[in-house]
Amino acid sequence: MAFFAFVDVFLPWITQQPTLDRTERDFQANRESLYIIVRYLTYSDYDNISICHNDIEGDNVKMFTGLETGYVPIDDNNIIEMIQLLFQHGFKGISKMEEGVSFLRWSTKDHGRGIVYSIDGSKPTESSLLPFLTETEALTEDNWYFYVENFSEWKSLRNQQQ
C-alpha cells in the first residue's frame, strides 16, 4: 500500500488521468518541442507515422511509416532531441495521419488522453488518428486540443445510436 501512495505523490502521471488543466500546463511546458515535431511530421514524405517511447535506442529514433516502408530512422538531430525530451516528460507516443498529429500523454488498455494538433484547424472528430474519441476541448492556442479516447464509452455511445 505504501508503494501506491509513493507513486501517487511523486509520480502522479503514472496513475492519474491528465485533466484539461494539467494538459494545458504540459502543452505550455513542451510548446516548442510540440510545434517543431508537428512541423517536421507534417512536411514529411509519409502520410502515416507512429513513434513510440520504445522506438528510441540510444541517440537513434525510428518512426513506423507503414507496412510497405516499415521503420525509418530520423536523421535530424534537433527532432531526435525534441522527441526524446517529450518522452522524458512523460509522453508515451506520437502519431501523424492526414488530419493531425497526436501526442499520447496517458493510457490504459482501453482509455487514452493527450494533445492533438489539427492540421486544418477544425475540431478533431473520430477518425483513423483517434478512432475511439469521446471528448475534445480546445487548448489556448489555435489548432491544439486536449483529447480523451475511451473505448467502453465509445462502444456504449455507438450502441445507443443504433
* Residue-wise pLDDT tens digits, 101-112: 999 998 877 788
Instruction: List helix spans (H) across 98-150.
Output: none
Q: Residue ranges of the domains in the chain?
A: 17-161
What are the φ/ψ torsions at residue 68 (nearest 5 degrees)?
-70, -40
For 87, other C-beta atoms within 10 Å of its C-beta total: 19
- Cell (9 digits) for 85: 525530451
**Residue 15 pLDDT grade (very low, low, confident, very high; cuts 50, 70, 90):** low
Residue 2 in this model has a pLDDT that exceeds 60: no
Residue 28 in this model has a pLDDT that exceeds 80: yes
Q: What is the pLDDT of residue 116?
A: 95
Collapse the DSSP code of 121 into the 3-class scheme (helix H, G, I; strand E, B; otherwise coil) and give the result. coil
**Residue 3 pLDDT grade (very low, low, confident, very high; cuts 50, 70, 90):** very low
Amino acid 153 reads: E
Instruction: List helix spans (H) across 43-162.
Output: 77-88, 151-161
What is the rounded CA–CA span in Å between residue 154 and residue 105? 19
**What is the separation of C-alpha 35 from the centre of its chain, rounded to a whole number of angstroms?**
13
Task: Identify the DSSP state of 59.
Answer: T
